[in-house]
Amino acid sequence: MKSETPALPTKRPASTAAFERALRLMPGGVNSPARAFGAVGGSPVFIDRADGAYLFDLDGNRYLDYIGSWGPQILGHRPPAVVEALERALSRGTSYGAPTEAESELAEQIIDAVASIEKVRLVSSGTEATMSAVRLARGFTGRDLIIKFSGNYHGHVDSLLVAAGSSAATLGAPSSPGVTSGTTKDTLVLEYNDVAELAQAFSVHGSQIAGVIFEPVVGNMGVVKPSEEFCQSLRQLTREHGALLICDEVMTGFRVAFGGAQSLLGLEPDLTTLGKIVGGGLPVGAYGGRADVMDHILPVGQVFQAGTLSGNPLATAAGCATLKQLKETPPYERLEKLSARLEAGLRKAAEAAGVPHTLARVGSMMTLFFNPEPIVSWREASQCDTDRFARYFCHLLDRGIYMPCSQYEALFVSAAHCEDDIDETIAAAGEAMQTL
Ligand code: KE4
């Protein structure tokens, strides 16, 4: 139901004061650089609470939320079923360091949803999931080389923090200091969608490649879709050379479809990594895939991975409730309608203002690029007009529309958004475009 149109947010004195305090305590005043507003300027908005499609800051301003916690909140904030599940779990305790049925429940839901996953291990973040999957690929194959792609972000894993996307690209640290050459010598970085380069890499290094990790729909250089030929080559070349194909679905899992991007692409990877939605807004990551590969993980096999809070009772309760709701009342058709409406409106707004742009969307994740070229890899994504993006972002924020604060991120529509919210966003974007 549409609430009253928010008054334009005044300046955000309470957030500004909170940021000044945070700056004295934490690097950049944040616990993840993606939140630092580094690419858009000004002080980050400090959130007091959230509900449905909305965020509310310390100054009481209301924002339509298109970050959704960077993906997890596909149902919107505080969905009743998730809140109730958390309250029930909390009444029984918070963490035991011993197995619980909830972990088996969540594992079963993941295995049921993602056809290529026969066994799964729960961890506490997407980074842990990708780090573990890469270690497993190396342990299973006995090989060292891992291929990743520029602009793909797989969390802050040392060996994968090379030409990384998301906030690493946003803040100019795609290859981070502190990651040694010894760590990254076994990481080959190729261009996304470049089939010839991929084939060349396998012709030269094929017998040393443990695995290829990629985003099956990229969210971390903005949204970039894989070509059909690229997907086919990834699967064929890895299979031919005995390397594992790792689909990093931390963002796309349960987002673009209940079975993830792989279900849309008709792809059967050897391993899949998950996060975000699978925890319903609480810390859950997961990696899973072929049972013969997963059984190389300790204590069955010899590849080590562990975690104090892996499968945490509160986090698994939120994850189980979220996946249960996504399965029983799938929001995907509604998300497609709302997202298509938003896409059409943003395109029209940019065209009306004569702003050079392209827009890429898969389901309820999309990116408006301030670049007229079709974006198929980091080569094009890195040429976007990020200054223009920053002005666009700030204009929308001042009108109560909270977009991801980087050109190299996806926006997310949630099941809590309604047509009026979309139309309000389009109107504000139309205004913003005229000022760019
Ligand atoms: P986390 O460790 O942040 O849970 O997951 C890392 C990760 C792995 N793989 C993919 C495809 C991802 O998108 C991510 C994390 N995504 C970013 C946003 N693009 C998280 C936001 C942040 O870093 O604060």
Domains of the chain, each with CATH number or no CATH: 82-94+101-328 (3.40.640.10)
Quote the percentage of the chain above a pLDDT of 70: 98
Q: How far apart are CA 390 and CA 65, in angstroms?
A: 17
What is the Å distance from ligand 1's center to 431 Cα? Answer: 31
Closest atom, ligand 1, to C-alpha of 130 = 8
Could you tell which of 70, 125, 167, 277 is best to mutate to test the pocket of ligand 1, judged by most ligand atoms within 8 Å of the CB? 70
The residues of the chain scoring below 70 in pLDDT are: 1-10
pLDDT digits (tens, 9 = 90+) for 2-48: 444 444 545 899 999 999 999 999 999 999 999 999 999 999 999 99
What is the Å distance from ligand 1's center to 352 Cα? Answer: 34
Residues having CB within 6 Å of any atom of ligand 1: 32, 34, 70, 125-127, 130, 153-155, 166-167, 215, 219-220, 248, 250-251, 275, 285, 409
pLDDT value at residue 100: 98
Q: 4, 16, 106: which is closest to 314 by C-alpha?
A: 106
- Strands 244-248 and 209-214 come out as parallel
pLDDT digits (tens, 9 = 90+) for 92-108: 999 999 999 999 999 99
Q: What is Dmax (Cα atoms) for the chain? A: 62
Closest atom, ligand 1, to C-alpha of 152 = 11
pLDDT value at residue 10: 53
The answer to whether the CB of 298 falls within 8 A of the CB of 263 is no
pLDDT value at residue 1: 43
Structure tokens at 198: 């991929």
pLDDT value at residue 3: 46
pTM reported for the whole predicted model: 0.96
pLDDT value at residue 23: 97
Q: How far apart are CA 305 and CA 393, in angstroms?
A: 40
Instruction: Give the 3-state secondary structure of residue 307.
Output: coil
Residue/partner pairs of 382-388 with CB below 8 Å, 24 or more apart: 382/151, 382/169, 382/221, 384/222, 385/356, 386/39, 388/355, 388/436
pLDDT value at residue 2: 46
pLDDT value at residue 323: 98
Q: How far apart are CA 366 and CA 335, in angstroms?
A: 12
At 51, the amino acid letter reads D
Q: 20, 5, 3, 13: which is closest to 57 by C-alpha?
A: 13
pLDDT digits (tens, 9 = 90+) for 346-405: 999 999 999 999 999 999 999 999 999 999 999 999 999 999 999 999 999 999 999 999
Q: Whose CA is nearest to atom 13 of ligand 1?
A: 251
Q: Which residues are catalytic?
A: 153, 248, 276
What is the Å distance from ligand 1's center to 211 Cα? Answer: 20
